[in-house]
Structure 1
Amino acid sequence: MDAGEILDLMNLVVTKRGLPAISDMALSTRDAKFRSLDFSEVALRIEDKIGRELSFDAAEMRRIVTVKDVVDFFTEASRAA
């Protein structure tokens, strides 16, 4: 999946909670109010779209700070074989 598709999924999740859509990828996940539960929901939605489970590396996840980090993480994870 590409970055735009992933950001769209992130926005679907946050707007469902009544929050504004994320437009600034430099925002911290905290400032965007993007919670770990949201992260999990996006992961599940991506898995549904690509038809397989994503593989997560805990060390990579610890480096996630910004919305862009989340998008990059999921972009890479969705491409991995």
Structure 2
Amino acid sequence: MTRSDILALMNTVLAKRGRAPVSAETQTTRDANFRSLDFSEVALRIETSLGRELAFDAASMRRIETVKDVLDFFEDATKAA
């Protein structure tokens, strides 16, 4: 799954909740109005698309502060075997 695919999923989830799309990777998740429930929904959509569960640990999730961090996180998670 590409970075642009992940961003498109993020924006789909935000639009579903009546929120504005992400305007820049440098935005904080707070400024982008991207919440933990949104993160979970994106993760589930990615898992459905890939046909497998994503493997990641909670510690790496705590470091997420920006949209770039979210994209990096999911990019890494989708590459893991």
Do the two structures share a fold, i.e. TM-score over 0.5?
yes
1:42-81 → structure 2 map (5 Å cutoff):
42-81=42-81
Partner of 1:32: 32
**The residue matched to 2:33 in structure 1 has which SS?**
coil
After superposing on structure 2, the runs of 4+ consecutive aligned residues of structure 1 that deviate more than 3 Å are none
Instruction: Give distance in 1, aligned partners of 2:49 and 2:79.
Output: 12
Which residue of structure 2 aligns with residue 13 of structure 1? Answer: 13
TM-score, normalising length: structure 2 = 0.97
Deviations 1:42-61 (A, max 9, x none): 00000001110001211111
Residue identity matched to 1:68: K
Question: In the comparison of the two structures, how many residue pairs are matched?
Answer: 81
Q: Percent identity?
A: 64
Kindly report the root-mean-square deviation, in angstroms, between the aligned alpha carbons of the 2 structures.
0.6
Structure 1 unaligned regions, length at least 5: none
Between the aligned partners of 1:48 and 1:69, the Cα distance in structure 2 is 21
SS state at 1:43 partner: helix
Alignment partners' CA distance in 2, 1:78 and 1:3: 10
Alpha-carbon offset, residue 23 of structure 1: 2.1
Give the partner amino acid of 1:30.
R
Residue of structure 1 equivalent to 2:2: 2
Structure 2 unaligned runs (5+)?
none
